[in-house]
Amino acid sequence: MIYTTKAQAKRLTGISYLGSVNMTTKHQKAFKYNELTYSLYLAPAKMSGYEVCPMRTKECTKLCLNESGMNTMNMEDDKINRSRIAKTKLFFEHREFFVNWMFDEIKSTELKAKKLGYKFSVRLNNTSDITPESFYLHVNDKPVNILQYFQHIQFYDYTKVPKRVELLKKYKNYDLTFSYSGHNLNECHTMLNNNIRVAVVFNKVPKVFWDRKVIDGDLYDMRYKDKKNVIVGLKYKRVRSKLTKNKFVIEL
């Protein structure tokens, strides 16, 4: 498959768009901060047949945000999940087609943000945990990843992959928040001690946890605005799963 335009890509794949802009409940909050956030939602875990969450646990898989919010309203035809599966397969099977399309969407969204006088940011992993270096295309026969291509744009992510923090030294336009899984306590403390914030899901968000200040992570999603050595408190969102006992959500 060879990419030419967004219109051609839509006709060829039957996919309306790759990334959304301030569409979901959490990203709509960016409007309050005069910001547009381009965000990508892929099919999590191995739902598409391709693994996109390498450090996932059974608990975080069951309680994934993919099964919350707008997706709980589409239980009959599973339209959202089918779309995310199609996008994920496109990413793995036709990488440069996907990335060229994504680059065009980012460019047009950035232009829209400028016209509005808004800030602009990108979050690649909303329901996945793929290194941004995997989003690349070839320029003059050399691979150029998305962080290199858009050096002037702010990217941010959450991850459960400890080695991913090495990217912070390589790319000034990349911000990362480490995520507590219920099984990586030592890694979380190591991150905090190295000035990297950690996200924790609670049934009730406290003011202090692990002797660290907890900020309300549900006020907005743009984590790059936060201090580095804090805990980002996220309140548990209801999902389709009936899982109750788990280590992923901290009960207080």
| pLDDT tens column, 28-47 | 999 999 999 999 999 998 89
| pLDDT tens column, 115-168 | 999 999 999 999 999 999 999 999 999 999 999 999 999 999 999 999 999 999
- Where do the domains of the chain lie? 6-250
Residues 127/42, Cβ–Cβ less than 8 Å: yes
* 68 vs 106, higher pLDDT: 106
* Residue 76, burial from CB neighbour count under 10 angstroms (0-12, 13-18, 19+): exposed
pLDDT for position 244 = 57
| pLDDT tens column, 92-107 | 999 999 999 999 999 9
pTM here?
0.89
pLDDT for position 237 = 76
* Residue 120, burial from CB neighbour count under 10 angstroms (0-12, 13-18, 19+): buried
Distance CA 39, CA 139 (A): 24
Distance CA 145, CA 143 (A): 6
Residues 43/87, Cβ–Cβ less than 8 Å: yes
Residues 2/96, Cβ–Cβ less than 8 Å: no
pLDDT for position 62 = 67
pLDDT for position 77 = 52
Question: Please, which residues have CB within 8 angstroms of residue 135's CB and are 6 or more apart in sequence?
Answer: 99, 102, 124, 145, 146
Residue 181 has pLDDT above 70, yes or no: yes
If phi over 0 gives left and psi between -120 and 50 gives alpha, with beta otherwise, what is residue 151?
alpha
| pLDDT tens column, 202-247 | 989 999 999 999 999 999 999 999 999 999 999 987 654 555 567 7
Residues 194/129, Cβ–Cβ less than 8 Å: no
